Amino acid sequence: MARRKAKRKNKQEKIRPKRIDANAARQDPKKELKISAIGEGTVIDHIPTDATFKVAEILGLESHNGVVSIATSLQSKSIGKKGIVKVAGKSLTQEEVNKISIVAPNATVNIIKNYAVREKIKVKSPEVIDNVVKCSNPVCITNNEKIPTKFFVVRKDPLKIKCHYCERSMGKEDIEII
């Protein structure tokens, strides 16, 4: 423990003071939040910051061939801290949008064509979630037989869902995407 602490202290001492850019004050503060623009693709905005990587996981972006930019802890007037995921060369299926709504109920999906927002879709939580979330009850039939899971949305934000088969109630923190 003591050794680890000492190490950290050394690291801190190595940090050099930042050079102050004389033009910094004149720059538009909004520009700092911008991450690389994409020509064609999808931008998912207004993700709760702690769900940002979950969205990337839902979309399987670790194996996506195009450019993927992920930013977290950006300031947002509407939701506090937010995350943004930009994916070049990908449009989302309705199923993917539904999955995103489970972890990011207020997200906006922007369809980008030729570097401009062509369409803005507000994510909507579905009433029923089919085969997206794993039931947290180990004895639930969906965990023991090849049956797709089915949940009813009891409350949208914060999310509360109920298993159709075993009636287990689950909150945001119990949710594991299949």
Q: Which residues bind Zn ion (CB under 5 A)?
A: 135, 137, 140, 163, 165-166, 168
Distance CA 128, CA 150 (A): 7
CB of 153 closer than 8 Å to CB of 126: yes
CB of 147 to Zn ion, least distance (A): 10
The nearer residue to Zn ion, 74 or 140, going by C-beta atoms, is 140
3-state helix, strand, coil in the chain (%, to 5): 30, 35, 40
178: closest CA among 62, 93, 66, 60? 60
CB of 109 to Zn ion, least distance (A): 29
The nearer residue to Zn ion, 38 or 135, going by C-beta atoms, is 135
User: What is the Rg, in whole angstroms, of the alpha carbon atoms belonging to the chain?
Assistant: 20
CB of 134 closer than 8 Å to CB of 163: no
The nearer residue to Zn ion, 109 or 163, going by C-beta atoms, is 163
CB of 71 to Zn ion, least distance (A): 35
The nearer residue to Zn ion, 84 or 159, going by C-beta atoms, is 159
CB of 140 to Zn ion, least distance (A): 3
